[in-house]
Amino acid sequence: MHSRSTEIATEQAYFDTTAKHRDRKISELGGLVRAAANSGAAAHLHRHAEAARRAIGTADDAVAFGRVDHETGETLYLGRHLIRDDNAEVLVVNWQAPAVAGYFEASHQEPQGLRRRRTFDCTGNTIRDFTEVIFAEIAETVDRHLLADLERGRTGEMRDIVATIQAAQFALIRAPRDQMLVIEGGPGTGKTAVALHRVSWLLFTHAEMLNAADVLIVGPHPTFMRYIRTVLPGLGDAEVELRDIGRLAPTVARGRVEPAEVSRIKGEVRMAGLLSRAVEGRIGVPEPAERLLVDGRFVTVPGAEVAEALDHARAAELPYLGRRQLFRDRLGQIVADRTGGAAPAGGSALANLVERLWPQQTAPAFLRDLLGSRSRLRAAAGTDFTAEELTHLHRRSADRLSQELWSAADLALLDELDHLVNGAGRRYGHVVVDEAQDLSPMQLRAVGRRSANGSFTVVGDIAQSTGAWARDSWDEVTRHLPTPHPVTVTALRYGYRVPRPAYELAARLLPVAAPGVTAPEVVRDGPAEPRTHRVGLTERPGRVVAVALEHAAAGRFVGIVCPPRCRREVEAALAENGVEWHSADRGELGGSINLVSPQEAKGLEFDAVVVVEPAEIVASDERGHRLLYVAFTRTTGHLDVVCVGDPLPLTAPARPTRGDDDPPRGLTAREVRRIAEHIAGQIRGAAPEPHWDELLAEVTQLLRPE
């Protein structure tokens, strides 16, 4: 028997030799990249060389993360990238290669011809230690290397999990492409990581028909996209497109705040019909006779002929602007036939008639005019909307389009209109949509139209479904994503990230939050029990900051999950203590202390989480218990709850009621100030300064009794 130190030294020698070949190849490819960049005719060569250089990794990476020994005597090392020696002999096999599938799939019950599986713990390319499974021996219940990896601190970016992929995860990663695969799982089951590694697997397996630029990944918000952005480049797939759901729409100024009932209406699928009818409604009706000045003389075109040209273009299976051009061409030919000359290429009279009957449109300009016009809304509504709903949709537009602010719900409408006006945009061979359980039907339509073939990976957790579109089943999501392929819903059973004490606290919410959801089986104990800090109202923000600083001083990556009503006081306390912090609402995630809302926390993870006022989190959303479940399960280690009220509210908070004869409760000066600051912040974010007086006047009017 070799001693462990001797075994590590032997493995290190192999790593060092392999690294020399890897680094030589990196250097060669770097030279090729530079040469290609200096050649104006070699853009394709540059792209190829850059992709090949990424595919082999960097000099800072370990050459391998694992090794398998077959019963036949064959030994294979596996890593994130294929590495060969000078004679083209394989030194390290890509983790996606079928030859090393047993590393992920083998068990003591089904060893798949393996004698040993070894996993290396490295700093750079230096082996610190290894763990291994000898398949003839009795199994440990949990992979020790996986648990060791989970104990590592977080950095604000998701890591790849190739060294710790479990058999159930690997089965989903390798699932066939031609389906809509729904990966559901509780917090910490690795569903997002599995979806990202599935993308890398599909690109490797279907390289002849699918490249990285053919894949789109859609996430819930910019912070989440920043969190996952380095995983696929680290696996050699840097050109995959990542967008948050709001970035599918045309680029506009965001920030409009609107009532929940308005956002709800805008998210419903019937809005697609309203927008389609509104677009068709912009096509006009000609006069009985249209008189045009062409080449210095007047030409009269019967209205019936113009109407026929309109009907011909209207019936074409083209987007609005494509049909407009068809109408323009046909009308030009009609004029040419009447003048005996060629169809006029230009001319203000013809252009003016086309613009009057079939006006040029952009999605933002069209939606601004539609929402600003009661008559256009009524005409497009048909029988699908009530008068009250149309009143909710109507709004006063900004004086200029460039000044218009758009709400989150507007973005999906803009995308729908852009599709109607300009036609299909970029489509992808595979689409991944994460946190899909919260998307509105209109947002799901925006995702669905990006798919060229119906190949989807859908990721989420019904128990974490909150907001206006909280769901209780996946059918409510998948029916809005068109696919000719089968829909497969598969659950991940084991929770790896969240420690058992924190999850046991969170799981107490499930009977209220999501009674039909089965909790995952948690596999690790974690470093500490959750702590509860019951404080007075004035003490709350200071205690939040003190607890966060305690964790930060221990080198932990900290997330403060704070409901909107408590946010201003926490921000003030952070500033008063001179704390450097990052805010998820600005797309930031980094440093040691981060402030996130319960909604923004979805999909993120921290070494330590400080949850502020659980009762307020529950009160902030119709599915508030699900939001609190999210907040409690963002930790990989430590959980603290700072609160004035109930640290684990299992019932909906009582809403104060009073009869008409009861005197209203008076507000303290502090409460008045806090409410005023909140309203001012809403107005500041919703409109430019010149409209503030107008908005205040409108608010005052709305507050008066009927």
Confidence of residue 584 (pLDDT cuts 50, 70, 90): confident
Residues 385 and 414 in one domain: no
Does the annotation flag 347 for ligand binding? no
Structure tokens at 648: 């684990």
Does the annotation flag 186 for ligand binding? yes
Does the pLDDT value for residue 46 go beyond 50?
A: yes
Q: Give the per-residue pLDDT at 660.
A: 37
Residues 595 and 518 in one domain: yes
Residue 153 DSSP one-character state: P
Q: What is the β-pairing status of strands 126-134 and 114-123?
A: antiparallel
Q: Give start and end residues of each alpha helix (H) in 340-474.
A: 348-357, 363-371, 374-381, 387-393, 408-422, 441-448
Does the pLDDT value for residue 155 go beyond 60?
A: no
The verdict on residue 160 lying in a domain is no
Residue finishing a domain among 466, 495, 524:
495
Does the pLDDT value for residue 110 go beyond 50?
A: yes
Query: What is the length of the chain?
Result: 706
Q: Give the per-residue pLDDT at 676.
A: 67
52 membership: H or E segment, kind and range = helix 43-55
Average pLDDT over residues 579-594: 84
Residues 85 and 102 in one domain: yes
Residues 77 and 30 in one domain: yes
The verdict on residue 173 lying in a domain is no
Q: Give the per-residue pLDDT at 166.
A: 77
Residues 123-132 have pLDDT tens digits of: 889 998 888 8
Average pLDDT over residues 23-31: 79
Average pLDDT over residues 585-595: 82
Does the annotation flag 187 for ligand binding? yes
Percent of the chain with pLDDT over 90: 53
Residues 435 and 348 in one domain: no
Q: Give the per-residue pLDDT at 662.
A: 38
Q: Give the per-residue pLDDT at 585.
A: 79
Cα–Cα distance measured from residue 676 to residue 539, given in angstroms and rounded to the nearest whole number: 22
CATH of the domain at 490: 3.40.50.300
Cα–Cα distance measured from residue 110 to residue 294, given in angstroms and rounded to the nearest whole number: 83
Residues 210 and 243 in one domain: yes
Residues 512-526 have pLDDT tens digits of: 998 888 888 887 888
Does the pLDDT value for residue 41 go beyond 80?
A: no
Does the annotation flag 635 for ligand binding? no
Q: How many CA atoms lie within 13 A of 58 on its CB side?
A: 7
Q: Name which of 111, 158, 134, 127 is nearest 62 in CA terms.
A: 127
Q: Give the per-residue pLDDT at 336.
A: 86
Q: Give the per-residue pLDDT at 105.
A: 85
Does the pLDDT value for residue 658 go beyond 60?
A: no
The verdict on residue 606 lying in a domain is yes
Residues 168-210 have pLDDT tens digits of: 888 899 899 999 999 999 888 888 889 998 998 999 899 899 9
The verdict on residue 652 lying in a domain is no
Q: Give the per-residue pLDDT at 131.
A: 80
Question: Between 587 and 249, whose confidence is greater?
Answer: 249
The verdict on residue 120 lying in a domain is yes
Cα–Cα distance measured from residue 627 to residue 522, given in angstroms and rounded to the nearest whole number: 20
The pairs formed by 91-99 with CB atoms below 8 angstroms and a separation of 24 or more are: 91/17, 91/18, 91/21, 91/63, 92/18, 92/63, 92/64, 94/204, 95/65, 95/66, 95/162, 96/200, 96/201, 96/204, 96/205
Average pLDDT over residues 574-590: 86
Sign of CA dihedral 534, 608, 631, 501: negative
Confidence of residue 329 (pLDDT cuts 50, 70, 90): very high
Q: Give start and end residues of each alpha helix (H) in 315-402.
A: 320-339, 348-357, 363-371, 374-381, 387-393
Does the pLDDT value for residue 659 go beyond 70?
A: no
Residues 79 and 122 in one domain: yes
Sheet containing strand 241-244, strands side by side: 241-244, 215-219, 430-433, 456-460, 180-185, 487-492
Residues 253-301 have pLDDT tens digits of: 998 999 989 999 999 999 999 999 999 999 999 999 998 888 778 889 9
Sign of CA dihedral 359, 361, 365, 368: positive
Query: Domain containing 320: what range?
Result: 260-395
Sign of CA dihedral 17, 20, 23, 28: negative
Residues 605 and 531 in one domain: yes
Burial class (CB in 10 A: 0-12, 13-18, 19+), 518: exposed
Does the pLDDT value for residue 307 go beyond 90?
A: yes
Does the pLDDT value for residue 55 go beyond 50?
A: yes
Least confident of 22-31, 147-156, 379-388, 509-518: 147-156
Which residue shows structure tokens 């964790």? 551
Residues 595 and 535 in one domain: yes
Least confident of 1-15, 309-323, 650-664: 650-664
Residue finishing a domain among 453, 471, 495:
495
Does the annotation flag 192 for ligand binding? yes
Question: Between 509 and 238, whose confidence is greater?
Answer: 509
- Give the max Cα distance, the chain: 104
Residues 207-263 have pLDDT tens digits of: 899 999 999 999 998 888 888 888 877 777 888 999 999 999 999 999 899 998 999
Confidence of residue 673 (pLDDT cuts 50, 70, 90): low
Confidence of residue 588 (pLDDT cuts 50, 70, 90): confident
Q: Give the per-residue pLDDT at 651.
A: 79
The verdict on residue 59 lying in a domain is yes
Least confident of 156-160, 303-307, 462-466, 594-598: 156-160
Confidence of residue 141 (pLDDT cuts 50, 70, 90): very low
Residues 203 and 340 in one domain: no
Residues 338-391 have pLDDT tens digits of: 887 765 555 688 899 999 999 999 999 999 999 999 999 999 999 999 999 999
The verdict on residue 264 lying in a domain is yes
Residue finishing a domain among 495, 517, 539:
495
Average pLDDT over residues 112-131: 88
Does the annotation flag 205 for ligand binding? no
> What does the mean pLDDT of the chain come to?
86
Q: What's the total number of domains in the chain?
A: 5
Question: Between 437 and 134, whose confidence is greater?
Answer: 437
Cα–Cα distance measured from residue 395 to residue 402, given in angstroms and rounded to the nearest whole number: 16
Q: Give the per-residue pLDDT at 180.
A: 97
Residues 604 and 681 in one domain: no
Least confident of 160-169, 175-184, 442-451: 160-169
The verdict on residue 385 lying in a domain is yes
Residues 491 and 505 in one domain: no
682 membership: H or E segment, kind and range = helix 669-686
